[in-house]
């Protein structure tokens, strides 16, 4: 069975952020991720994760917080300086939090110039932080209109073209379903380059149960594929988080 992490930006939001760690550990998660941890001192987050016995699995490049700001700038021509200073800020956080991955967010841009800009910035980031795992994640255009990376094949193409050992795919069942209608087929096609998995129910983004996707079958497929990464629960709980955790396999 894979190792499961709780996305504390979306789960346990009934509690203040610093109390979500212990709640996640008590529920049986072994790790946590926070999309934009920049509002809180990295040292405090790190101490709290360690105290709860949790690995810190993933964070995103800024924007500064969940509620405000664009989802990154990496594909935006003319915003290279902003991208680079944001990336360095993420690295400063990461030097304390030690996440397994940093998700580099593409931002809002289209066309060949955006593709070139994204590739250039990814190459720069992969060179700048060769010992940090980096991911890119296609987001569905209904939720993120205009976001540059909305295509798994394009993500795979970029990863191959850049060829950096520390750059891989972030595969999210919810986005894969919304983009293609067949998340399992996306997984089969891109399992080899996937470094981080996020799960959310399809077609809604609630608990990973029922719906049109076989989650237990997916977890078994992850094991068969030799996937060694984490599986993070990234969804909007239908009611209280703890009440919807029947899907979480217990160690």
Ligand X SMILES: O=C(O)C(=O)[C@H](O)CO
User: Which residues form the catalytic set?
Assistant: 137, 234
Should residue 60 be labelled a site residue for Mg ion when binding is judged by CB under 5 A? no
- Strand-pairing partners, residue 234, are none
Among ligand X, Mg ion, none, what binds residue 35 when CB lies within 5 to 8 Å by partner kind?
ligand X
206-213 long-range Cβ contacts below 8 angstroms, 24+ apart: 206/235, 206/236, 206/237, 206/238, 206/244, 207/235, 207/237, 207/238, 207/244, 207/245, 207/246, 207/247, 208/173, 208/233, 208/235, 208/247, 209/246, 209/247, 212/177, 213/173, 213/177, 213/183, 213/184
Binding mask 129-168 for Mg ion (x = CB under 5 A): ----------------------------------------
Q: Which of residues 180-219 bind Mg ion (CB under 5 A)?
A: 198
Q: Which residue is closest to Mg ion by CB?
A: 172
- Which one of residues 33, 76, 172, 207 is an interface residue with Mg ion (CB under 5 A)? 172
Should residue 103 be labelled a site residue for ligand X when binding is judged by CB under 6 A? yes
Q: Which of residues 107-166 bind ligand X (CB under 6 A)?
A: 137, 139
Among ligand X, Mg ion, none, what binds residue 139 when CB lies within 5 to 8 Å by partner kind?
ligand X
Cα–Cα dist 176/228, whole Å? 20
Q: Where are the beta strands (DSSP E) in the chain?
A: 3-7, 31-33, 55-60, 101-103, 133-136, 167-172, 194-199, 230-233
Should residue 177 be labelled a site residue for ligand X when binding is judged by CB under 6 A? no
Q: Which of residues 43-62 bind ligand X (CB under 6 A)?
A: 60
Which residues contribute to the site for ligand X (CB under 6 A)?
Answer: 35, 60, 71, 103, 137, 139, 172, 175, 198, 234
């Amino acid at each position: 069975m894979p190792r499961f992490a709780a996305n504390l930006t979306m789960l346990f939001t009934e509690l203040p952020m610093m109390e979500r760690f212990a709640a996640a550990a008590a529920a049986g998660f072994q790790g946590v991720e926070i999309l934009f941890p920049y509002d809180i001192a990295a040292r405090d987050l790190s101490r709290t994760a360690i105290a709860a016995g949790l690995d810190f699995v993933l964070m995103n490049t800024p924007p500064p917080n969940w509620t405000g700001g664009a989802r990154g700038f990496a594909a935006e021509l003319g915003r290279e300086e902003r991208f680079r200073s944001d990336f360095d800020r993420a690295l400063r956080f990461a030097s304390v939090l030690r996440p397994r991955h940093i998700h580099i967010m593409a931002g809002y841009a289209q066309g060949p110039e955006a593709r070139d800009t994204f590739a250039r910035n990814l190459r720069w980031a992969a060179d700048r932080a060769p010992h940090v795992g980096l991911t890119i994640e296609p987001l569905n255009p209904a939720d993120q209109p205009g976001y540059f990376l909305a295509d798994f094949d394009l993500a795979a193409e970029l990863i191959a073209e850049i060829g950096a050992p520390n750059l891989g795919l972030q595969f999210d069942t919810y986005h894969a379903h919304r983009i293609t209608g067949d998340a399992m087929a996306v997984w089969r096609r891109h399992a080899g380059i996937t470094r981080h998995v996020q799960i959310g129910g399809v077609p809604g983004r609630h608990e990973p149960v029922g719906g049109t996707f076989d989650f237990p079958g997916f977890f078994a497929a992850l094991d068969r594929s030799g996937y060694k990464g984490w599986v993070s629960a990234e969804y909007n709980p239908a009611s209280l988080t703890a009440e919807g955790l029947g899907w979480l396999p217990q160690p």
